[in-house]
């Protein structure tokens, strides 16, 4: 893993990399990352604006979301079904864009969309199935939310909690990564929509204060607390629902404390992305005695419920049950640093980037 | 693990240990087993017949079932919620008995029952909740089936397949321990009741022939075949449902081949009972990409559905969809050997014992 010194090197990488509307600026894969990403893994590239051909659109990027999976893309993997990246390719990334030219019959100029744009300030797109573009709905909420809370992060949180976790009112729930993009949504939905009793885990006092303000009855600071002791103290009767964003020893500790008919949702395992060997789970047989289940999910398998899920989330935001939290990096040059910081757990809420310095409330 | 030589030592243990109706013969825990059970772990004991007091019955044992969990009882564990055994205690075991005297208001003399009897030829019982006694229903089927197919083995097979596995017609199913007590029922119910395409695993050519005759489209001989190669050949499109009776590397290999929305049922893990360290599962994260689930279950949590499950099983036997297979050891003296052989995988179907040499069809 990169240390704090390496993080500051990203400021040097970003220095002087201003963008304008007259060219397409891109971040490309320069090298395969080893451990966490470092500045040399990224290549800054400037090209002319392309013209859309028949059936194509020209998209102008406004916001991009950042997700832990992106390092896996850079390594050449394809864990989410996107095409495998070669050295020199534009890095995959979903975000919010405006259609500034359209020669596509189904998409109009001026329309705001979200989908697979990549780390670039413009994109010529045939709006293919694989890019999974959705029109931004007219729900009165800021367009920036399409890069996270009203994007794939929101779908992940909703599908993981409701379709996989089967939460019940009064469930004792433990949630790791509670201050992150998915976590900060899951905790609020579980507490405020379902009525679960949520204990969250996050790193550091500041984040712990944040998650207590966003749905968690109590917080475990995984950097300072003894997790086993804290779980025993805060969940003395065990756990009905564990929502796992981190994997590893935290998963193991929660598995030890499952109650009858409990559920473990495997959402992410950020602790494992940079492990040299995969973590091995020794207590999966605990599922037997308690008639419990471990359920995995992959967000792209839940796209058929997109509209209903986004309506749910927008409704809960308007009703005050869900405060959208996005951690906005400013300017396209900041993308590599924002990604590196993800693996240090520095973001609160969904890590995003306002590509052109747009305000968070811009619509 | 004991080798074949040690198994033959059990014949010497059994020699001369005849029983009659005038005393209560018992097998007790002499020592905590280390590895597989050996003759010195068992103590043969003869006591006078006790008289039932008010609210009690005197039960005469006819059949006893044998299950892998029994070694865990002898070690002093209580994996199924039975009381922990001390040295000198009668070993736990469920079976079929006749009530020969009753001073209990709800139970009549002459009635056939099944429940927690222990390794003994008579029992004075208050018919407590914890002993889980059930009257044998008048379904025209042999009483011996109450020690397995129409007992806890049957409930395990039914609950594991239907309540946990959610089998669908056409599911590609893999089943380990397919020739065993639970396995031989699951394979037939999955194939003949649901219409699954079942690939079974068993040890040796004879058992593989047996499972092909009892619901399996194809058989993998885990002692002779390369399991990974066989799975790739027999399930080239992957697995929808894996019913796990063995755990360990077999579970790992099946997890690698899960299809979308697949299910893994954790029923047993006989390969792990005598491991010095628990097996560690490295690929549980495979559940994520395929939206799959791993579901454990514990048979005693499913007792509330007892009557309906037994009616299902009896009906399928009468309809010819389920051939009951019990592997009957003869005579109470044979109990320790029958248990030791379980861990060598020598039984076909449910391992039982006819305590008084009763025929299998006796009713």
- pLDDT value for A29: 98
Task: Work out the pLDDT band at B273, boundaries 50, 70, 90.
Answer: low
The predicted model gives B295-316 an average pLDDT of: 95
Q: Is A166 on the interface with B (CB under 8 A)?
A: no
Name the superfamily (CATH) of residues A4-144+325-354: Medium-chain alcohol dehydrogenases, catalytic domain (3.90.180.10)
Contact between B54 and B24 under an 8 Å Cβ cutoff? The reply is: no
- pLDDT value for A91: 98
* H helices present in chain A, as ranges: 4-14, 69-75, 152-158, 181-188, 205-212, 227-234, 248-255, 286-289, 306-318, 335-342
- pLDDT value for A32: 96
The domains spanning B4-150+324-354 and B156-299 adopt the same CATH topology? no
Q: Looking at the partner chain, which of A280, A284, A298 has a beta carbon nearest the beta carbon of B291?
A: A298
Which parts of chain A have pLDDT scores under 70?
1-5, 269-276, 363
- pLDDT value for B334: 97
- pLDDT value for B27: 98
Q: Are strands B94-102 and B57-65 parallel, antiparallel or unpaired?
A: antiparallel
Contact between B255 and A278 under an 8 Å Cβ cutoff? The reply is: no
Place of tokens 């299998």: B360
Q: What is the pTM of this model?
A: 0.88
- pLDDT value for A80: 73
Q: Could you give the dihedral angle defined by the CA atoms of residues B79, B80, B82 and B88, in that order, rounded to the nearest 10 degrees?
A: -50
Each residue of A17-73: pLDDT tens digit?
A: 999 999 999 999 999 998 889 999 999 999 999 999 999 999 999 999 998 889 989
**CB A190: neighbour CB atoms within 10 A?**
26
- pLDDT value for B2: 43
**pLDDT exceeds 70 at position B4:** no
- pLDDT value for B82: 83
Q: Looking at the partner chain, which of B267, B278, B294 has a beta carbon nearest the beta carbon of A294?
A: B294
Q: Which CATH number fits domain B4-150+324-354: 3.40.50.2300, 3.40.50.720, 3.40.120.10, 3.90.180.10?
A: 3.90.180.10
**Rounded Cα–Cα distance for residues A77 and A72 (Å):** 5
Q: Where are the domains of chain A?
A: 4-144+325-354, 161-296
Q: Going by CATH, does the domain composed of B156-299 fall within 3.40.50.720?
A: yes
Q: Which CATH number fits domain A161-296: 1.20.1730.10, 3.40.50.620, 3.40.50.720, 3.40.630.30?
A: 3.40.50.720
pLDDT exceeding 70 applies to what percent of chain B? Answer: 96
How many CB pairs lie under 8 A apart between chains A and B?
Answer: 89
Looking at chain B from residue 240 to 299, which residues have their Cβ under 8 Å from any Cβ of chain A? Answer: 247, 260, 266-267, 269, 272, 278-298
**Rounded Cα–Cα distance for residues A281 and B281 (Å):** 5
DSSP of B250-289: HHHHHHTTEEEEEEEEE---GGGTT-SS---BS-TTHHHH
| Cβ contact B301–A291 (<8 Å) | yes
- pLDDT value for A276: 66
CA-nearest residue to B288 within chain A is A296
Token pair for A133: 């573009």
Mutation target among A160, A259, A290, A294 for the B interface, most CBs of B within 10 A:
A294
Its ipTM equals 0.84
- pLDDT value for A2: 43
């Amino acid at each position: 893993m990169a240390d704090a010194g390496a993080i500051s090197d990203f400021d040097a990488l970003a220095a002087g990399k201003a963008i304008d509307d007259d060219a397409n600026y891109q971040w490309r894969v320069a090298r395969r990352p080893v451990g966490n990403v470092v500045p040399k893994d990224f290549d800054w590239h400037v090209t002319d604006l392309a013209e859309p051909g028949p059936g194509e659109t020209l998209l102008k990027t406004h916001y991009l979301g950042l997700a832990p999976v992106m390092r896996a893309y850079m390594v050449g993997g394809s864990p989410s079904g996107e095409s495998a990246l070669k050295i020199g390719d534009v890095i995959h990334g979903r975000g919010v864009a405006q259609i500034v030219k359209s020669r596509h019959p189904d998409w109009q100029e001026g329309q705001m969309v979200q989908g697979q744009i990549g780390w670039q300030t413009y994109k010529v797109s045939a709006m293919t199935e694989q890019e999974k573009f959705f029109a931004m709905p007219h729900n009165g909420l800021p367009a920036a939310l399409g890069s996270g809370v009203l994007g794939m992060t929101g779908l992940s949180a909703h599908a993981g909690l409701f379709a996989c976790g089967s939460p019940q009112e009064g469930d004792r729930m433990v949630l790791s990564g509670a201050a992150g993009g998915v976590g900060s949504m899951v905790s609020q939905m579980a507490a405020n929509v379902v009525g679960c009793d949520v204990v969250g885990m996050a790193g550091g006092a500041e984040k712990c204060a944040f998650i207590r303000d966003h749905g968690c009855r109590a917080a475990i600071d995984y950097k300072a607390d003894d997790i086993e002791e804290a779980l025993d103290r805060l969940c003395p009767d065990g756990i009905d629902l564990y929502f796992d964003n981190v994997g590893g020893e935290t998963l193991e500790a929660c598995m030890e404390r499952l109650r009858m008919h409990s559920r473990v949702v495997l959402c992410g395992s950020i602790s494992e992305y940079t492990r040299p060997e995969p973590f091995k789970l020794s207590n999966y047989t605990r599922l037997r005695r308690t008639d419990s289940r471990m359920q995995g999910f992959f967000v792209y398998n839940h796209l058929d419920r997109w509209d209903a899920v986004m309506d749910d989330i927008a409704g809960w935001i308007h009703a005050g049950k869900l405060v959208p939290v996005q951690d906005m990096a400013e300017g396209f040059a900041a993308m590599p640093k924002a990604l590196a910081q993800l693996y240090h757990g520095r973001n609160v809420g969904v890590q995003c980037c306002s590509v052109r310095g747009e305000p968070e409330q811009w619509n």
